[in-house]
Chains A and B, each alone.
Chain A
Amino acid sequence: MSSTEPRRTTLDALHRSLGATMTDFAGWDMPLRYGSERDEHLAVRTKAGLFDLSHMGEITVTGPQAAALLDFALVGNIGAVKPGRARYTMICRADGGILDDLIVYRLGETEYMVVANASNAQVVLDALTERAAGFDAEVRDDRDAYALIAVQGPQAPGILASLTDADLDGLKYYAGLPGTVAGVPALIARTGYTGEDGFELFVKPEHAVELWQALTKAGEGAGLVPCGLSCRDTLRLEAGMPLYGHELTTSLTPFDAGLGRVVKFEKEGDFVGREALREAAARAGQNPPRVLVGLVAEGRRVPRAGYAVVAGGEVIGEVTSGAPSPTLGKPIAMAYVDAAHAAPGSAGVGVDIRGSHEPYEVVALPFYKRQK
C-alpha cells in the first residue's frame, strides 16, 4: 500500500454519485461495490456488468525491436502474436519467480501495449526499462494515458454493438482492435477477468465519463449494472483465474502455479529466467512440491487466504483465495496443497477455519465454465 493519498480515477465522482462503497486497492480508491456484490456477480453471469478498471497499468513498447525486447523480457512467445491479437503471459525474475502476470496486446508490427496489475505496474515498468538496454525499442509509461472500462457478461456484445460500427463478430477472444464507441476513440479488446464473454475498452481518461454514461444507457434494457472489485474477485475465483499476490508471487514460478504453459522455451533467443524455469519445469514434472487445486465447502463457513488446509490432523497446504461462491451457493477456495492430496476427490481434506477443521472437497479448476 502506498502511504500517500490514494489515487482516483476519472470516474471517481460518478462512482460516488452511484453510492459506491470505495476501497483502497493498490494505492487507488476504487469501487468495491455499488449495492449487493452478490447481485453484481449474478448480473455479470446472466446479463452484464460495467467495471472501472482504470487502475490497471498500461505500458507501451514500440520500435523495430519491440518484439525482440518482449521475447527477452517476458516468458511468452510475443513475437509470434499477430497484430490485433493479445496474449496472457508473465514476467519473471532471473530465478524464475513471477513478477507479474500480464496481457500483451500487439497493436501493430512494432507496437505493443503491456497491461500489468496496478500493484505491480511500477515493478513491471522498471523491469522492462532495465531489460530494454541494448534493444532498439522504447518503453513508455502510459498509466495516465488510459482509462479502462470493461463490459462483461452474456449481454455485453449486444450492448457494445449498439454503440459501435466495429466488427465485434469478427473480434475473437484475446483480440483487440481500434474503433469508435459512442463517438469516443477506443481500443476494443475481447478480454476480461470474469469467465464471461465481454470487452475491455481502453480510452483517453477525458472520454471515460462520456463512455461510461453511454454504456449505462445502452445497457438499461439488458440488465447492465455497475460492478465493483468485490464481485470481480468472486467472478475470477469461480473462473479459476489466479490473482497476483494470492496464487502468484515472486516465490513461485509459473510451473509451481500450474501455468507452465505460458513459458515458451521453443521461442528464439534467450529470455530472463530461462535457465531457472527449465529446472522448475523438470521439478514440476517429476516431483511437484505443491499443486494449485479448487476446494468446495461441504458446510457454510468460508475459507480465507492464509487458512491452513489439513488432512489427518496435518497441515498439507494453504488457502490462497476464498469466498462464498454466488454461482455454486457454497464457499469455494483455491489452495496450494501437497501433491499427495491434490487429486480431485482426495479423501479427508479440510480447512482449518479459526480452529475447527471443516470438510472440503478437492475439485479440478475452474469452478465455473460458461456455456458457449
Chain B
Amino acid sequence: MINPKELRYSKEHEWLSAAEDGVSAVGITEHAANALGDVVFVQLPEVGDSVSAGETCGELESTKSVSDLYSPVSGEVTEVNVDVVNDPSLVNSAPFEGGWLFKVRITDEPADLLSADEYTAFSAG
C-alpha cells in the first residue's frame, strides 16, 4: 500500500490534498477502504455545509458495518463527488483518486495532520 506523498493524513484515516485556491479534496485512505471491505453506500455532507475537524460529517456503509466519516479539517464544503455517490465501489478501487469524497474550503486545520511517511507508520501499527 502506497500513501501518496503529496497528501496529508488524519488519524481517522482520511486524506487531504494540497490546497488549490484554499480548497482541498478529502477521501479515505486505501488502508481504511481495505479495512471496510466493499463500500456500498456513502452519505456525504452537502455543498455549503460547515464541517469541523475531527467531527463526523457523513457515513460509509460496507457489507459488514457502517463507519462514520470524519472531516480532517474545518471549513465549508464546496463540492461533493457525485460519481462516488452513484458508484461507492470507487472508494475501494481508487481511494486516492476517483474515490475522493468532498472538497472543502479550509478555515482551520488541526496541527496533528500526518505526512505520508508518518501515516504509513501509524496505520501499520
Interface size class of A (residues with CB under 8 A): 10 to 19
Contact indicator B37/A230 (Cβ below 8 Å): yes
A302 touches B37 (CB 8 A): no
With a cutoff of 8 Å between Cβ atoms, the chain A residues found around residue B61 in the complex are 300-302, 324
Q: Is the CB of A38 within 8 A of B66?
A: no
Interface flags for A288-301 (1: CB within 8 Å of B; 0: not) read 00000000000011
Total contacting residues, chain B, CB less than 8 A: 13
Q: Is the CB of A38 within 8 A of B34?
A: no
Known contacts A36-B92, A324-B41, A324-B61; decide if A302 and B34 are in contact (CB<8 Å): no
Q: Quick one: closest A residue to B43, CB to CB? A: A301
B29 smallest CB distance to A (angstroms): 16
Cβ A302 vs Cβ B38 within 8 A: no
B41, A230: Cβ atoms under 8 Å? no
Complex alpha-carbon distance, A230 and B63, angstroms: 8
B5 at the binding interface (Cβ < 8 Å)? no
Q: Which one of B38, B63, B89 has the highest number of Cβ atoms from chain A below 10 Å of its Cβ? A: B63
In the complex, the answer to whether B63 meets A37 with C-beta atoms within 8 Å is: yes
Instruction: Confirm or deny: B40 has a beta carbon within 8 angstroms of a beta carbon on chain A.
Output: yes
What is the CB-to-nearest-CB distance from B46 to chain A, in angstroms, rounded to a whole number? 16
Tell whether, in the assembled complex, residue A302 and residue B92 are in contact, meaning their CB atoms are under 8 Å apart: no
A304 contacts chain B at the CB level, 8 A cutoff: yes
- Complex Cα–Cα for A36 and B64 (A): 12
* A299-349 interface with B by 8 A CB criterion: 300-302, 304, 323-324, 331
Once bound together, how far apart are the Cα atoms of A37 and B37, in whole Å?
A: 7
Contact B38 A38 (CB under 8 A): yes
A-B contact pairs, 24 of them (CB 8 A): A21-B34, A21-B37, A32-B37, A36-B37, A37-B37, A38-B38, A38-B63, A38-B89, A230-B64, A234-B63, A300-B40, A301-B41, A301-B61, A301-B66, A302-B41, A302-B66, A304-B65, A304-B66, A323-B64, A324-B41, A324-B61, A324-B63, A331-B40, A354-B66
- Extra pairs beyond A32-B37, A38-B63, A354-B66 (13, CB < 8 Å): A32-B64, A36-B92, A38-B38, A38-B40, A230-B63, A300-B41, A301-B41, A301-B66, A302-B61, A302-B66, A324-B40, A324-B41, A331-B40
